[in-house]
Amino acid sequence: MEINIDKNSGFCFGVLNAISMAEEQLRKHGTLYCLGEIVHNRKEVDRLRKMGLITINHEELKGLSNTRVLIRAHGEPPQTYEIAEKNQIDLIDASCPVVLKLQNRIKKSFTEMEAKEGQLIIFGKKGHAEVEGLLGQTGGKAVVVGSDFSGLDDIDFTKPITLYSQTTQDKEKYLELTQLIKNRIRQCNCAEKETSAPFTSFNTICGQVSNRGPHLAGFAAQHDVVIFVSGRESSNGKYLYSICKEHNPRTWFITGPEELNEEWFAGAEKAGICGATSTPVWLMEEVAKAISSFSS
């Protein structure tokens, strides 16, 4: 059986950068705190933990002082930087430049919307670290709408609305949301309203995620069986897996080689291995090795 690893799968540059910053610090100092899991992949987290990386949460951060803490690619709200300054914590800031740029845009946009008594909407997963960082730019005042469109009823459609997206969201869902908002504005805009409130939307989904979708659709279709490798917590993992499954029903989601099932490959001539922006290449290589042991 031919086994191919997708060349475009694996860490995006934001995650690669955060991991290489962590490794550099670990080589120099032996240990390093990381605020939240550095990547949504248990196996990579374990590898770095063995090198000395200690994952902490926000409560634990408050109890630290005079030490070094890494901020992962998802970014952080302003409060985290305030705590670090107060506790004399040296932040190793590995926030992805794409996320930082979005934080700044949201901050500026929110100030403009407040002046117009408008609302800023973030399309993203409530409680997700990146969304918390974005929400923090608005003092927690932006409305978060999830991919199930929960939160939509918190919007006042008679007022101006500006919409942004978490960088790892599904583009189709984002487009669906923009249409839903337009429809609601139209409904509110009946007899008593003379003009419609302006609605501006910015598709801020990262190219590292949205470009992989069409590519993976082709990759999945070219193989008899597809093995999608990802942590179960990864947002873009879920999204990219759904694309593979749609284009090849013989797609299986695994977190590591131990979850493989030999029966999945019955009669297959070509097996494809791919993953999320948080999937390490070494893990896909281990999966390939395990599959080749089935076919030998």
Binding site for ligand SF4 (CB under 6 A): 12-15, 73, 96, 98-99, 167-168, 206, 208-209, 277
CB of 16 to ligand SF4, least distance (A): 9
β-strand partners of 122: 144, 164
**Are 107 and 138 spatial neighbours (Cβ–Cβ below 8 Å)?**
yes
Q: Is 130 a catalytic residue?
A: yes
Minimal distance, residue 228 CB to ligand SF4, in Å: 17
CB 25 → ligand SF4: shortest distance, Å?
19
Q: Among residues 201 and 208, whose Cβ is nearest to ligand SF4?
A: 208
| Cβ atoms 137, 110 nearer than 8 A | yes
The SS3 call for residue 168 is coil
Residue closest to ligand SF4 (Cβ): 14
Q: Which two tokens stand for residue 87?
A: 């506790």
Instruction: Compute the least distance from the CB of residue 99 to ligand SF4, in Å.
Output: 5
Helices 13-29 and 42-51, interaxial angle, to 10°? 20
Q: Which residue in the list 44, 76, 130, 132 is annotated as catalytic? A: 130
d(CA 117, CA 139): 15
Q: Which is nearer to ligand SF4, 216 or 225 (CB)?
A: 216
> Residue 9 or 168: which CB sits closer to ligand SF4?
168
Q: Which of 137, 133, 115 is nearest to 124 (CA)?
A: 133
* 214 CB-side CA count, 13 A: 5
* DSSP assigned state of 155: S
CA pair distance 152, 259, nearest whole angstrom: 38
Which residues are tagged catalytic? 130
